[in-house]
Amino acid sequence: MDWMEIFTFVTGLIYIYLEVRQKNLMWIVGLITSAASMYVFFGEGLYASTALNLYYFVISFWGLYQWRRDSGRMKGSDALRTDTGNGGKAEEVIHLGRLTLRTVLVSLAVYVVLTVGLIHLVQYLGDPMSMLDAGIAMLGAVATWWLGRSYKEQWILWVAANMLTSVMCLRSGMYYLFVLYLVYTVVAAYGYFHWKRNGKYID
């Protein structure tokens, strides 16, 4: 399945670039990348990651709606600012949501409970790396929900999820995806500081 891994690698790079720039097109590319990833992970018997990418596919419709709504709210106020350090050019502002302690606690509780349940399920299905696969899947699920809400802290979750996924891909012999998730890890670290520097809260 190297050809599909290569395809996922290419669309994944486009996806992460659009994510950093907070472009609505990211969610459309995400549909393609998720479908390809489902094919690859299912072929390796990594059922939690397969289910995670199905979740990515479905939530992309909600995420696109959220970002279009929030960017519309930005346009109604102050969508552009002048960046004096960039030759006076106007630069698009990243719209941010505020992450509350309540959201963190709810997310943590959901992560723990569903991860335990998912471990048992994928073990039953014969997943060769059930604990790692399930842990990554639920971490990615929470991170994607935070992404849809435009919390800049979602990048921190992605750093952890992508590092663990790169390990899983390496152990499974999926070398193109191993490289892709290493790139994801580096870009996620950059994405956090990019959103922090250019972000503006919409509430």
Q: What is the pLDDT of residues 27-47, one digit of tens each?
A: 999 999 999 999 999 998 999
Position 3 scores a pLDDT of 87
User: 92-140 pLDDT, tens per residue?
Assistant: 689 999 999 999 999 999 999 999 999 999 999 998 999 999 999 999 9
Mean pLDDT taken over the chain = 89
Whole-prediction pTM = 0.85
User: 85-105 pLDDT, tens per residue?
Assistant: 445 444 568 999 999 999 999
Percent of the chain scoring above 70 in pLDDT: 90
Position 92 scores a pLDDT of 66
Q: Which has the closest alpha carbon to 121: 109, 137, 105, 106?
A: 137
pLDDT band at 13 (very low <50, low <70, confident <90, very high): very high
pLDDT band at 18 (very low <50, low <70, confident <90, very high): very high
Examine the pLDDT at 77 and tell me if it is beyond 90.
no
Whether 192 and 152 have beta carbons less than 8 Å apart is answered as yes
Position 1 scores a pLDDT of 52
